[in-house]
Structure 1
Amino acid sequence: MCGIVGAVARRNVVPLLIEGLQRLEYRGYDSAGIAVLDGEIKRVRRVGRVSEMQQAAAAEGLAGQIGIGHTRWATHGGVTEPNAHPHVSGGLIAVVHNGIIENHEAIRAELKRAGYSFESQTDTEVIAHLVHQRYQQHHDLFAAVEAAVRELVGAYAIAVVALDAPDLVVCARMGCPLLIGRGDGENLIASDVSAVLSSTRRVIYLEEGDVAAVRRDGILIHDQNGKPVKRREHVSDVSIASLELGPYSHFMQKEIHEQPRALADTLEAVLDEGFSPTLFGTDAGAVLEQIEGVQILACGTSFYAGSVARYWIEAIAGLPCQVEIASEYRYRPVVANPKHLVVTISQSGETLDTLEALKYAKSLGHAHTLAICNVQESAIPRASRLVFYTRAGAEIGVASTKAFTTQLVALFILAVTLARLRGRLDDEQTVAYLEDLRHLPGSVQHALNLEPQIAVWAERFGAKQHALFLGRGLHYPIALEGALKLKEISYIHAEAYPAGELKHGPLALVDAEMPVVVIAPNDSLLEKVKSNMQEVRARGGELFVFADLDSHFTESEGVHVIRTPRHVGVLSPVVHAIPVQLLAYHAALVKGTDVDKPRNLAKSVTVE
């Protein structure tokens, strides 16, 4: 959510800022703006898409060698141009900001008493005036920003320019991602590496509390104690091609179809090395041998991946496993067992609730921590002792697809590794699991081949307002994920239940206007699921069943069946995730919604 880009160069930076903001559109936003220094602070802001702001900037002939830009996702104040970033104070200071300042009202009151007036309802304008006030005292932009951020409570990534410091961008972060891109004779800043890739692959990730002075020919970073520090430079391996649509209509469609490759890339190490603890870190063996249970913390789709993993960890590794929504865990008294492994799951590695839940767990004495993440050097992996990076590649669509399935295989690898360490698996079963993983990308490709049939089903969802998803056992979380995907991008209200719970309440909703989607793999619970389906048909409900090829379902009036590949055992949830993703995508096409940028949602949730 929200995006920051900035640049200081010997060329006109407006094209860099606009391209950077276009690369950040996937994060979710409702307004955009840029500001450059050109004898004065020149600013263009627009409600709507970056393209509208780009046209306005071109019409005004905006140009400059230093500037900042922003895509805003409304939090404080409505979607209006006065609330859009950058915010300016006194014609001297311009600021862009991601995050939420919790004490903005108290600071606003103090600034009003000091004579500052406010044009917006945002917490960001408070930062602009506060920096301006401190700048009057210090006459040094870097010192002014350092002084200002010490007064802020909450999460922020900010970039600041001053009219009389025409070669300097000052940036700071706390709880929200921010990086510096190092170029030749120019430097850039951004909240996401995708925004700088057209100019450089050399990036420095700022850490919590860092404040940085960024000039064309140099960078100075102070840590949160005000001490100069060096941060490691990385070479990004994100490809430009992964950020382009190619032959696909939407990024979501592209990313659904990239899953065989994403899974194969994520599985490469385990297929080469076997289920070795070193997949999770050099000292992972010593850590994993000590644990007596697993606590999984995650949000949204990642929470559903963790919910599948609970079945695997308990059934395969024989360890107790709890899965909790991170935003709930962090705010309740927890009875902690320091011998449990705390596993955090996040696509971006910057999900604020998950990061704060991890910090809370560590404060309770949890030293054994593992992050499963798709983004190198992001905050959650840096805060964890062990790390497993999925290799899904850049995921642009707001609705997660390939990140979810690669998280599933990472968690399966963890479950089997724990089982091996505990002596619960013999070599024969271990080899069998490796073979299952080796064939998994092919099974996923077979499921993708069902897209034309699923698209036909989606036509029937176009006129619906509600849908019900059912699953049992380790496929219940896949039903939850299917319902989430459908409501995220098609805006059809959808709920998911364990199929056995149908008669305990949800059956009252079933009628001819309530399509019921059933995940029905050929496992030990299949006959139970068939009984639940009969309960639906008896009430006039229409069933849409995703069954395995060997499940022996037959279509009949009101019962529609699509057969996925043959049952693939415990990895079945990965395969069955594909058809529910495709159903949501094609239902959204029928509805005519903005598939990649669904309303009110953002890709990386870095606020509460």
Structure 2
Amino acid sequence: MCGIIAVTGRPDAARVLIQGLERLEYRGYDSAGLSVTDGEGGIVRVRVAGKVNELKAAWNSREAGSCGIAHTRWATHGPATEANAHPHTAGRVHVVHNGIIENYRSLREATTKAGATFHSQTDTEVIAWLYAAALEESNDVVDAFQRTVRKLEGAYSLAVMVDGEDDLLLGARRGAPLLAGFDDTAGYLASDPLALAGEAQSLIFLEDGEIAAVRPGRVDITDLTGRAVTRPVQPAQLSPVLAEKGSYRHFMEKEIHEQPEVVARTLGAYVDQVENTIRARDGLDFSKASRLLIVGCGTAAYAGEVAEYWFERIARLPTEVDIASEFRYRDPAFLEGDVALFISQSGETADTLEAMRLCKAAGLITVALVNTAHSTMAREADIVAPTLAGPEIGVASTKAFSCQLAALACLAVRAGIERGHLDTASVTDHVAQLMAIPGTMSEALRADGQIDQLARDLSRSEIVLYLGRDQYFPMALEGALKLKEISYIHAEGYAAGELKHGPIALVEEGVSVIVLAPSDSLFAKTRSSIEQVRARGAHVLALTDEAGAEALEGLVQASILLPAARGAANLMSAAVAVQLIAYHVAVHKGTDVDQPRNLAKSVTVE
């Protein structure tokens, strides 16, 4: 949700902090700030209401010391103002925080009665006042920090520095990601390993209820009572090159074009090409499953809805898809033999994580489909199903979504094998379809120029409707979501067969309708839906193949030609098209493509 980075033992601390914030800005960009030792026994703090480049300008390369903390914010408590920007201070304490402190009001009332004067509307400032008060009672800065953290309820990751402790950083986590890093001469804290790419040599991922004391070259971890904790040390594997746009205008554009490569990488984790099959996953036996529950948020939920068609059709496995926030609170009824699969790019999505914990407590087998190997969901799930999209910086998910679809398609085939619904010839055919996906997506990218031209007119639309049938219905929902997210055009996705049950009332002269219309067994019915909206004056754009375009000639304003393919490959070429439509429309509208308003990449609070 927000981004944290902290460093000690680096003479270029401010540079490391600002560079880290630039990489973390996908997590929040309403405001930003940093506090750095000034080399003379004090700490200098600079904050802005705005993005990291504005903080960089405000900092203006001033001299500073070797220890500091920094933050880029997505507003929760209080609007995006300089006063609400992190770090927050009280006494000797400077603190940055991701998450929400649920008992903030009672803590604020207590600290105010004790003499605290608040300067912001955030819940974070109360942490600074609590710790400042604890330091007045104890000379042990770590013990005072532990006592402070024990008073907090809710989700948080914290990075703290104390005036007079020039080489010490303190971190704590509960329900929001935090990791520590180190090398021979420096120490780090961050909310995402991407922030430390090219800096730290080794990483330690904190668990809930743990505190890190970070000094140059050293990280000590304890629980909230002060008992020492040992955590595995992981090599830092990310390259700083991964955070660069290269020749592309936006990260989203780059990530759309990376999809053939990263989808191929993901398929390689599931497909055994020598044996022409899908590898089994330890601990996961679909033959014993009575039902598959799929849970996610936003784009991840739409990936699950696509997969529902696949699991039921290929494996005859009853499947239900839920939005995580609704699943948690509707008191779901479980069946014996239920398997629950949770989809999250970050592996930290708060609602999805809590839904997984609910299922785990009920005794269900839990599967985490995640892009982040060391995330909380990956650590807590019974089984991890990886996606290998690499870091995704653009807030609107593209390559992570495609890798989720690729992994789900593989799992559906594996389920069909284990449940006895696929013979050897069928498995071989499904594997061939799966391995065709990267090439099909690469071919679909050739429509980029045509889509760019068509997007100019679409960018002037006030409303855009997406229609699809079968597996293309959730893809229509995803297409509408992408357009909403980055162009701010009111877009809706519908099942094409539902037109006469209400949505057709929205169609009038000039309304734009985008129809996913592959020349498959349902093409005639899709064509009928096109005729219905065309008769009412809609401006129709079809996403189809050569045969479909020929059949629709004269009926639609334009057809975007996609490669003819089978199964998941056909669907995923359509994914490329709806992503490119959203991207180019947003560019023509002049919106902030990578950092759309009010959104953040990883939502780690409810």
What band does the TM-score fall into relative to the shorter chain? Answer: over 0.9
**Residue in structure 2 matched with residue 77 of structure 1 by the alignment:** 78
**Contact kept? 1:44, 1:57, Cα under 8 Å:** yes
CA distance in 1, matches of 2:584, 2:15: 35
**Contact kept? 2:542, 2:556, Cα under 8 Å:** no
Q: Which amino acid aligns with 2:517?
A: A
Change in CA separation of 1:233 and 1:278 when aligned onto 2, cut-off 3 Å = farther
Q: Pairwise mapping of residues 437-448 of structure 1 onto structure 2 (< 5 A)?
A: 437-448=434-445
**Residue in structure 2 matched with residue 377 of structure 1 by the alignment:** 374
Q: Deviations over 1:295-319 (max 9, x none)?
A: 0010010000000010101111111
Q: Which amino acid aligns with 2:411?
A: L
CA distance in 2, matches of 1:175, 1:275: 41
**Residue in structure 1 matched with residue 55 of structure 2 by the alignment:** 53
**Contact kept? 1:173, 1:208, Cα under 8 Å:** yes
Q: Please say if 1:499 is aligned against 2:496.
A: yes
**Residue in structure 1 matched with residue 239 of structure 2 by the alignment:** 239
**Contact kept? 1:395, 1:402, Cα under 8 Å:** yes
SS in 2 for 1:203: strand
CA distance in 1, matches of 2:408, 2:195: 30
SS in 1 for 2:307: helix
Q: Which amino acid aligns with 1:53?
A: L
Q: Which amino acid aligns with 1:300?
A: G
**Contact kept? 2:444, 2:573, Cα under 8 Å:** yes
Q: Please say if 1:356 is aligned against 2:354.
A: yes
Q: Which amino acid aligns with 2:551?
A: F
Q: Pairwise mapping of residues 461-480 of structure 1 onto structure 2 (< 5 A)?
A: 461-480=458-477
**Residue in structure 2 matched with residue 297 of structure 1 by the alignment:** 295
Change in CA separation of 1:277 and 1:580 when aligned onto 2, cut-off 3 Å = closer
Q: Deviations over 1:438-473 (max 9, x none)?
A: 111111111100111111110111211111000011
Q: Pairwise mapping of residues 27-426 of structure 1 onto structure 2 (< 5 A)?
A: 27-38=27-38, 39-58=41-60, 61-90=62-91, 92-224=92-224, 226-272=226-272, 280=281, 282-284=282-284, 287-366=285-364, 368-426=365-423
Q: Which amino acid aligns with 1:56?
A: A
Q: Deviations over 1:121-154 (max 9, x none)?
A: 0000011111111222232221122111211111
**Contact kept? 2:157, 2:172, Cα under 8 Å:** yes
**Contact kept? 1:95, 1:158, Cα under 8 Å:** yes
CA distance in 2, matches of 1:486, 1:75: 24
CA distance in 2, matches of 1:11, 1:413: 49
Q: Please say if 1:3 is aligned against 2:3.
A: yes
CA distance in 1, matches of 2:386, 2:497: 36
CA distance in 1, matches of 2:99, 2:371: 21
Q: Pairwise mapping of residues 508-523 of structure 1 onto structure 2 (< 5 A)?
A: 508-523=505-520
**Residue in structure 2 matched with residue 579 of structure 1 by the alignment:** 577
**Contact kept? 1:141, 1:170, Cα under 8 Å:** no
Return the offset for 1:531. 0.8
**Contact kept? 1:549, 1:567, Cα under 8 Å:** no
Q: Please say if 1:15 is aligned against 2:34.
A: no
Q: Deviations over 1:11-56 (max 9, x none)?
A: 2311111111111112231111000123222100011121221222
Over 6 Å off, 4+ runs: none
SS in 1 for 2:220: strand
Q: Which amino acid aligns with 2:72?
A: T
Q: Please say if 1:564 is aligned against 2:566.
A: no
Change in CA separation of 1:239 and 1:218 when aligned onto 2, cut-off 3 Å = closer
**Contact kept? 2:311, 2:319, Cα under 8 Å:** yes
Between 172-181 and 329-338, report the one with greater CA deviation: 329-338
Change in CA separation of 1:232 and 1:338 when aligned onto 2, cut-off 3 Å = farther
Change in CA separation of 1:276 and 1:607 when aligned onto 2, cut-off 3 Å = farther
Residue-pair matches, total: 602
Q: Deviations over 1:185-213 (max 9, x none)?
A: 10111111111112124211111111110
CA distance in 2, matches of 1:10, 1:473: 56
Identity, % of aligned positions: 47
Between 81-90 and 571-580, report the one with greater CA deviation: 571-580
Return the offset for 1:279. 5.1
CA distance in 1, matches of 2:49, 2:210: 31
**Residue in structure 2 matched with residue 601 of structure 1 by the alignment:** 599
**Contact kept? 1:373, 1:381, Cα under 8 Å:** yes
CA distance in 2, matches of 1:237, 1:271: 24
Return the offset for 1:503. 0.9
CA distance in 1, matches of 2:105, 2:34: 26
**Residue in structure 1 matched with residue 531 of structure 2 by the alignment:** 534
Change in CA separation of 1:116 and 1:62 when aligned onto 2, cut-off 3 Å = farther
**Contact kept? 2:434, 2:568, Cα under 8 Å:** no
Change in CA separation of 1:547 and 1:277 when aligned onto 2, cut-off 3 Å = closer
Q: Which amino acid aligns with 1:347?
A: Q
Return the offset for 1:418. 1.0
**Contact kept? 2:181, 2:187, Cα under 8 Å:** yes
Change in CA separation of 1:277 and 1:102 when aligned onto 2, cut-off 3 Å = farther
**Contact kept? 1:238, 1:393, Cα under 8 Å:** no
**Contact kept? 1:36, 1:67, Cα under 8 Å:** yes
**Contact kept? 1:275, 1:416, Cα under 8 Å:** no
Q: TM-score, normalised by structure 1?
A: 0.96
Change in CA separation of 1:442 and 1:10 when aligned onto 2, cut-off 3 Å = closer
SS in 1 for 2:98: strand
SS in 2 for 1:260: helix
Return the offset for 1:570. 4.4
Return the offset for 1:278. 5.4
Return the offset for 1:432. 0.7
CA distance in 2, matches of 1:143, 1:290: 50
**Contact kept? 1:336, 1:365, Cα under 8 Å:** no
Q: Pairwise mapping of residues 479-494 of structure 1 onto structure 2 (< 5 A)?
A: 479-494=476-491
Q: Which amino acid aligns with 1:147?
A: R
CA distance in 1, matches of 2:336, 2:220: 39
Return the offset for 1:105. 0.5
In structure 2, stretches of 5+ residues that fail to align are none
Q: Deviations over 1:524-545 (max 9, x none)?
A: 2111111111110111111110
Between 289-298 and 265-274, report the one with greater CA deviation: 265-274
SS in 2 for 1:309: helix
SS in 1 for 2:331: coil
**Contact kept? 2:278, 2:413, Cα under 8 Å:** no
**Contact kept? 1:179, 1:190, Cα under 8 Å:** yes
Q: Which amino acid aligns with 2:460?
A: A
CA distance in 1, matches of 2:601, 2:54: 21
Q: Which amino acid aligns with 1:26?
A: Y
SS in 1 for 2:547: coil
Q: Deviations over 1:67-115 (max 9, x none)?
A: 100001111111111100000002x000000011111001000001111
Return the offset for 1:569. 2.6
